[in-house]
Amino acid sequence: MENQVSGAETRLGIHIPAGPHQPITLMDLAEVRKDGSDFSGSLDLWVLDRPDALLIARNPEARKHLAQNRRATVLAWNHHPGMHRERGVLHGPVLVTGALNGDGMITTAPAELVNLLMPAGRLQMQIKSTEAEGPWRSLGQDDDWFGAYQWMLTYTARSPEQQSRLLRVVPAMSTRQLEHLAQIEDQGLLDPPGSEDTRNPIKILSCTGIDDLAEQIRTGPIPAGSGFHWRDLCLVSLSDDGQHWVAIRNDHALTVTPPLPHIEDGTFAAYVMKLTHQQAADDQN
């Protein structure tokens, strides 16, 4: 691997040891090529997708006597279709970094993968058939990304049709957030406006960031009861026409303007930031 680490600022990679009980840590990429490092010898590099990233490991000759790295293998099988098809197995310590920049420099690991591999809570398993299908669909939750990925690989192995589907794991709502959501539901704040009909059950899809939040809402359709979660914010559609929404943060619910126009005119990030800042101010009052 001849690529260089990008820039003077600290760039971090995700270090995944081979031992299943050894902690996954962040590693300064400036230390990667130093003598005595796990990655000081001859290395192989794989390009991962969703998100764009690199996986770095010892080459076959250097790693033939090293232990299998089950966690890194499962990660690679979910983010590198070729390795899944070929049942490639990784050995020894593995480093996950960001993609190469325009100068051929290795960049810092994507925040999406950092949040996935070093989580502080539950994770949501998601699936869809193609990129163009629409919003991701939740398959359930797990406390551990390794267990979640293993379960999804088993799920998709049931039939050839399932094997071509896209999979991902995303940090989910915390237990406390779910309790707040249940309290808000009990108060009737998520009932469809102007209707005596029984509302749909609330179904929450967790998202990886503001851009992903916008993409899931934009690709619709969004029936009443659909919710979209990112960090401590949840946007819930109250009507099938997409004209009535509630924003939930902590234990507060606020009626908001529909998000789709903000997505279409490029002001969605400001819309989200305004909601989080407004509700943060409400929390202090």
Residue 74 falls inside a structural domain? yes
- pLDDT value of residue 2: 41
Residues 111 and 10 in one domain: yes
Backbone region of residue 78 per phi and psi (left: phi > 0; alpha: psi in -120 to 50; beta: other values): alpha
CA distance 220 to 215: 9
User: How far are the Cα atoms of 37, 90, 252 from residue 172, in angstroms, in the given order?
Assistant: 34, 28, 19
Alpha helices in 126-249 (DSSP H): 145-156, 160-163, 175-186, 210-218
The token duo for 238 is 């109250």
Last residue of a domain, one of 90, 117, 144: 117
Q: Which tens digits make up the pLDDT trace of 43-70?
A: 888 999 889 999 998 776 665 678 899 9
Last residue of a domain, one of 93, 117, 141: 117
Q: How many residues does the chain have?
A: 285
Residues 99 and 30 in one domain: yes
- pLDDT value of residue 197: 52
Residue 61 falls inside a structural domain? yes
Residue 143 falls inside a structural domain? no
Residue 133 falls inside a structural domain? no
Average pLDDT, stretch 12-33? Answer: 90
Strand partners, 206: 229
Residue 243 falls inside a structural domain? yes
Residue 69 falls inside a structural domain? yes
Residue 158 falls inside a structural domain? no
Residue 151 falls inside a structural domain? no
Number of domains in the chain: 2
Contact indicator for 222, 279 with CB cutoff of 8 Å:
no
Domain span at 257: 173-284
Residues 108 and 194 in one domain: no
Burial class (CB in 10 A: 0-12, 13-18, 19+), 54: buried
Residues 96 and 188 in one domain: no
With a cut of 60, say whether residue 13 has pLDDT above it: yes
Residues 198 and 99 in one domain: no
Q: Which tens digits make up the pLDDT trace of 184-241?
A: 888 877 877 765 555 678 899 999 999 999 999 998 788 888 999 999 999 999 988 8
Residues 10 and 110 in one domain: yes
Contact indicator for 215, 268 with CB cutoff of 8 Å:
no
Backbone region of residue 98 per phi and psi (left: phi > 0; alpha: psi in -120 to 50; beta: other values): beta
Chain mean position to CA 222 = 21
Q: Which tens digits make up the pLDDT trace of 104-159?
A: 888 999 998 998 888 778 899 998 887 777 889 999 999 889 999 888 888 877 76
With a cut of 60, say whether residue 284 has pLDDT above it: no
Beta carbons within 10 angstroms of residue 24's beta carbon: 18
Residues 269 and 181 in one domain: yes
Last residue of a domain, one of 82, 117, 152: 117
Residues 109 and 13 in one domain: yes
